[in-house]
Amino acid sequence: MAGRDGAASDFDRLVAFSREQLQAHARERFRDGGGTQPSVTRVVAGEAEAVFKDYADSAWLMRWFAPLFVYREASALERLAGIEGIPRVYRRVDGLGILIEYLPAPKWSRSQPTPAAHDRLEKLLADVHARGVAHGDLRGSGNILLRADGQPCLVDFVARVHRGRPWNRPWNAVFRAFCQADRNALAKLKLRWAPELATAEECRRAEHRGWPARIARAVGVGVRRLVRLLVRQPDR
C-alpha cells in the first residue's frame, strides 16, 4: 500500500512539474528538438514516468505554431482515451509542450512482430477510426510501437484528421480518404515485415499512396523549407 501511495504521489509530482523540472528529470531522449522538430523525452520522478514532447527548443516559427500542434495531438488523444495502445494525455505545458503516458514499447521496426501483432494493429487502427480519428502519419512506421506482450501502440497524432459532423459530407469524404491512407500504410508495413501474410488486395493497397499521403508529405516538405528559409539558425 505504501508503495502504491508513493507511486501516486510521484505521479502527482511529475504531472505538476514546470518545463525546467521536466527537463531536469529527463532520462531518455527519443529525439532532439530544434528547427522544425520538437524534443521528445522520457521523464522519470521516483516510480512515475511520462513522455514530454516539447517545441520550446524548436525554431521561432515552429514555436509560433506549437499551440496548434499541441492542441491537435491532445484533442486526438483525448478522443481516444481508454483505448489500449494509445497514450493518455496528462497535461499541456504552456501551450508549447504536452505530457503524455509513457508506453514501454520499442518501435515496430526494432521489434519482431508476429502475425497476431499485425492483426492486433489492424484492430487497433479500426478502433481509432471508429472513434473518429484518422492518424495521417503511419507511412514511415516510426509512429507504430510494439509492446513485449504483443500489444501494438500508436503515437504522434499531430497530422490527425477528425471525423466531421454528420451533415458535413465533404469533410467526411476527406476523413474517409485519410482512414484509407492509414490502412494503405498498414498494408505497406505488412508487405515489408510479413509479405507471406499480405493478400493480393493488400499488395495493391501498399503501392497506392493516395492524395492524403501526398498532401501530408507536400505540407511537411513545404513547412521544413519555409522554416529553413525564414529561420537561418534555430534561435534557442
Ligand X SMILES: Nc1ncnc2c1ncn2[C@@H]1O[C@H](COP(=O)(O)OP(=O)(O)OP(=O)(O)O)[C@@H](O)[C@H]1O
Q: Is 182 in the site for Mg ion (CB under 5 A)?
A: no
Nine cell digits for residue 222: 513545404
Report residue 193: phi and psi, to 5°: -100, -25
Q: Is 143 in the site for Mg ion (CB under 5 A)?
A: yes
Binding residues with Mg ion: total (CB under 5 A): 2
Are 59 and 235 in contact, with CB atoms under 8 Å apart?
yes
Are 183 and 125 in contact, with CB atoms under 8 Å apart?
yes
CB-nearer residue toward ligand X: 111 or 143: 143
Q: Is 77 in the site for ligand X (CB under 6 A)?
A: no
Q: Which of 14, 51, 80, 134 binds ligand X (CB under 6 A)?
A: 51
Q: Which stretch binds ligand X (CB under 6 A): 76-84, 99-107, 118-126, 225-233?
A: 99-107
Rounded least distance, CB 158 to Mg ion, Å? 8
Q: Is 156 in the site for ligand X (CB under 6 A)?
A: yes
Are 156 and 137 in contact, with CB atoms under 8 Å apart?
yes
Q: Is 90 in the site for ligand X (CB under 6 A)?
A: no
Residue nearest to Mg ion (CB): 156
- Where helices occur in the chain by DSSP H, the ranges are 2-16, 19-24, 60-79, 115-130, 169-193, 200-207, 210-230
Q: Which of 133, 91, 106 is nearest to 28 (CA)?
A: 106
| The entry of ligand X, Mg ion, none that residue 50 binds, CB within 5 to 8 Å by partner kind | none
CB-nearer residue toward ligand X: 138 or 198: 138
Pairing between strand 48-54 and 89-93?
unpaired
Binding mask 120-149 for ligand X (x = CB under 6 A): ----------------------xx------
Burial class, 20, CB count within 10 angstroms (exposed 0-12 / middle 13-18 / buried 19+):
exposed
Q: Is 102 in the site for ligand X (CB under 6 A)?
A: yes
Q: Is 97 in the site for ligand X (CB under 6 A)?
A: no
Owner of C-alpha cell 531522449: 29
The CA-atom distances, in angstroms, between 23 and each of 20, 42, 89, 97, 227 are: 5, 9, 18, 12, 25
Q: Which of 63, 92, 107, 162 binds ligand X (CB under 6 A)?
A: 107
Binding residues with ligand X: total (CB under 6 A): 17
Q: Is 30 in the site for ligand X (CB under 6 A)?
A: yes
Give the separation between CA 206 and CA 210, rounded to whole angstroms: 10
Footprint on this chain of ligand X (rule: CB under 6 A): 30-31, 37-38, 40, 51, 53, 87, 100-103, 107, 142-143, 155-156
